[in-house]
Amino acid sequence: MLEAVHLLLQGFSFRARDLKELIAWNADEMILRGSFYDESHEWNRALQVGNAGTVVKENGSPLRTASSFFGKMPAVIMQPSDIELLRGAPEVRRRWLDEILCFRSAANASVLRNYKRVLQQRNQWLRQFKKDGNAVGGEDLFQVLTGQLVELGAKLWSIRLELSKEISPIITGYYRRLSGGVDEITCDYKSSILREFDASGIPNEDMLKNAFAEKLAGLELVEKLQGITMSGPHKDDLALCASGYEMRSVGSQGQCRSAAIAMRFAAVDVASRYLAKPVLLLDDIFAELDVNRRDAVAALVREKDCQVLIATPQFEELPFKADSEISLSD
Amino acid sequence: MSVEPESLEALIAEFAGLPGIGQKTARRLAYHVLTRPKSDIERFAGNLTNAIEKVHPCPKCHAFTDEEQCPICSERQGAKAMCVVEKSSDILPFERSGIFKGLYFVLGNVISPLDGIGPEQLHLSQLVQRIKDEGIEELVLALGSSPEADSTALMIDRMLAGSSVKRTRLARGIPMGSDLEFVDEITMLRAFEGRVSL
């Protein structure tokens, strides 16, 4: 149910890569319908996914893709697998950062979307070049695609740097409340293009553009041999450090859980500030927390004053009373 | 066992193959066609065959025409401005507005290595040759706003490196008559980037 709400609000599933994965084993299609309200709007949304394709509607009008749902009423999911935000592959952290980046503005979302599209086109060119020793449009098109990638990549890099700087103290604040400690968590952007910047503060976009262009120029031969773009924002990572040590390798299970929850609350703050108060979806997160952390999360959830949907197998163990209960059975 | 006759199913499949037509609309259209008087349908089929037989891309600009050369290429010889568009139908808004009295060049698509479409498929060499041969002074790139449209514009720009032809692209921004309050963020950003002095 949480996934259905998330899908109708955010336009993508937090679990499945392909919407067809959401169709039940013995069914041909999946249909979701939902109505959402805020003070001034009402959205009646429907999504139909089947073998014939996907149909997306909002207030009766067709939309091109489910991702068109994004950007009106946000949702933030918290789930036990969020520990992957700390322990998992860089892709998980990039996805988290990019989601927040899209909460911040539609222009950011457009940069991200275009960067991914140009990257796909450039990778296809490189794949074909690796296979045939030549590719559509020849060297000229490769240079055009590289130029576009540099332009969009530098923009995306700059947006992510600014964002990671903005959310680092927010994460620290939540982490301290959750762990009851005084540790400072830093959220540093780790670029695959340049490891460190000598100047303090965020370098301007032109500097980033030059650095990215230089990096790709240096990698050109290898990229043509490997058939893939080897550096850029799509290879970057975030380093979550506590007291100077990267939590990914040295953080305890409890520290990592607290940091992951802190990251989700940071997403709630960014969404509330730049877009709208999100719907908070809590997927059985209390079972894995000790009493202190559970109470701290409950207090934060209450403070946020969002609509909250909680999925739990043990209703009586929730640290607060729900306004209404929905029981699901097979 | 299918309830619909095979020939009707085939007709539905043909309609469903058209852009923007789903299975339900295709079925509705097919049933509608069958309820029309036979003479109407024969006229419809005749027009379809006629269009396929007679309409072809103009050898100079690739816009659809039923003459040897399209009327614009024939009547505007000597024009020094050329507008590059993706589809033949993109010419219509220019002509309706009457704002542009130059020549056109229809690419038929935009560059996309993922779809195997490069400069060769878009006749870009022919475009460059035409610019040289006809002494074109301004090339207006009226392509969309997708990354692929940008690749195409940049590729054309690259192929014309060293040439004196002026390259321009259409402005992007707020549509006429629209209220600023309802303009989306990206459109506003483009409009702001393209602001002009009073």
What residues does each domain of chain A span?
Answer: 2-73, 78-257
From A89-103, B64-78, B177-191, the region with the lowest mean pLDDT: B177-191
What's the pLDDT at A284?
A: 86
Residue A200's pLDDT band (boundaries 50, 70, 90)?
low
Among B54, B71, B87, give the residue marking a domain's end: B54
HSE-up of B109 (CA within 13 Å, CB side)? 13
Smallest Cβ distance to A144: which of B112, B154, B185?
B154
Confirm or reject CATH 3.90.180.10 for domain A2-73, answering yes or no. no
| Whole-number pLDDT of residue A201 | 66
Q: Are residues B95 and B141 in the same domain?
A: yes
Contact list in B for residue A110 (CB cut-off 8 A) is 186
pLDDT in tens, A51-66: 777 889 999 888 888 8
- Residue B46 and residue B97 in one domain: no
Residue B177 pLDDT: 83
B17 with B114, same domain: the answer is no
Q: Does some domain include residue B1? A: no
The whole-number average pLDDT for the span A25-48 is 89
Asked if B12 and B73 sit in the same domain, the reply is no
Among B116, B150, B185, beta carbon nearest to A148: B150
To the nearest whole Å, the CA of A117 is away from the closest chain B CA by 7
| Mean pLDDT value of segment A40-60 | 88
pLDDT (tens digit per residue) in A163-186: 998 999 999 999 998 887 777 788
Which residue from A122, A137, A148 is facing B119, i.e. has the nearest CB? A137
Look up the domain containing B95 and give its range.
Answer: 58-197
Chain-centre distance for alpha carbon A96: 3
Q: What are phi and psi of A277, to 5 degrees?
A: -60, 125
Q: How confident is the model at residue B136 (pLDDT cuts 50, 70, 90)?
A: very high
Average pLDDT on A42-50 reads 91
Q: Give the pLDDT band of residue A40 (cuts 50, 70, 90).
A: confident
B112, closest residue in chain A (CA to CA): A121
**For B10-35, what is the mean pLDDT?**
90
Indicate whether B15 and B78 sit together in one domain: no
Q: Cβ neighbours of residue A20 under 8 Å, at least 6 residues apart?
A: A49
What pLDDT shows up at residue A288? Answer: 81
**Same structural domain for residues B81 and B13?**
no
Same domain, B36 and B111: no
Please tell me the distance in Å from B25's CA to the nearest CA on chain A. 13
Give the distance from residue A49's alpha carbon to the nearest chain B alpha carbon, in angstroms.
Answer: 14
pTM of the model: 0.87
Q: How confident is the model at residue B104 (pLDDT cuts 50, 70, 90)?
A: very high
pLDDT for A305 beyond 80: yes
Q: Provide the pLDDT confidence category of residue A198 given band limits of 50, 70 and 90.
A: low
B45 and B74 inside one domain: no
Residues on chain A touching B184 (C-beta within 8 angstroms): 106
pLDDT level of residue A188 (50, 70, 90 thresholds): confident
Residue B92 and residue B189 in one domain:
yes
Nearest-CB residue to B155 (from A120, A124, A141): A141
Instruction: Identify residues of A whose CB sits under 8 angstroms from chain B CBs.
Output: 52-53, 55, 105-107, 110, 114, 117-118, 120-122, 124-125, 128, 135-138, 140-141, 143-145, 147-148, 152
Q: Positive or negative CA dihedral for B71, B73, B78, B84?
A: positive
Task: Collect all residues of chain A within an 8 Å Cβ-Cβ radius of residue B24.
Answer: none
Q: What is the reported pLDDT for A196?
A: 66
Question: Cβ separation of A121 and B147 shorter than 8 Å?
Answer: yes
Give mean pLDDT, residues A283-298. 86
Highest-confidence segment of A7-21, A116-130, A231-245, A311-325: A116-130
Task: Please state the rounded mean pLDDT for residues A99-120.
Answer: 93
Residue B16 falls within a domain, yes or no? Answer: yes
Residue (of A304, A185, A119) closest to B148 by Cα position: A119
Domain count within chain B: 2
Architecture per CATH, A78-257: Up-down Bundle (1.20)
Summarize the confidence of residues A130-159 as an average pLDDT: 95
Domain co-membership, B70 together with B140: yes
d(CA B39, CA B42): 5
With CB atoms and an 8 Å threshold, state whether B113 touches A145: yes
Q: How confident is the model at residue B20 (pLDDT cuts 50, 70, 90)?
A: confident
Top residue of B150, B159, B172, B192 to mutate, by most chain A CBs within 10 Å, is B150
pLDDT tens column, A267-283: 999 999 998 899 999 99
Nearest to B118 among A53, A141, A152 (CB): A141
Mean pLDDT of A130-138: 93
Q: pLDDT averaged over chain A?
A: 89
Residue identified by tokens 């503060």 is: A201
Nearest CA in chain A to B125: A137
pLDDT at A184: 77
Say yes or no for a CB contact (<8 Å) between A136 and B117: yes
Q: What percent of chain A has pLDDT over 70?
A: 98
* First CA to last CA distance, chain A: 13
How many whole angstroms separate alpha carbon A320 and alpha carbon A13?
Answer: 27
Distance from CA of B157 to the nearest CA of A (A): 10
CATH of the domain at B181: 3.40.1360.10
- pLDDT for B157 equals 94
Nearest Cα to B126, choosing from B105, B147, B148?
Answer: B105
Q: Are residues B24 and B101 in the same domain?
A: no
Q: CA A24 to CA B66: how far, in whole Å?
A: 52
- The answer on B101 and B62 residing in a single domain is yes
Residue ranges of E strands in chain B: 56-57, 64-65, 81-85, 103-106, 138-142, 166-169
| Chain A residues touching B159 at Cβ < 8 A | 140
C-beta atoms of B159 and A124 within 8 A: no
Q: What is the pLDDT of residue A290?
A: 85
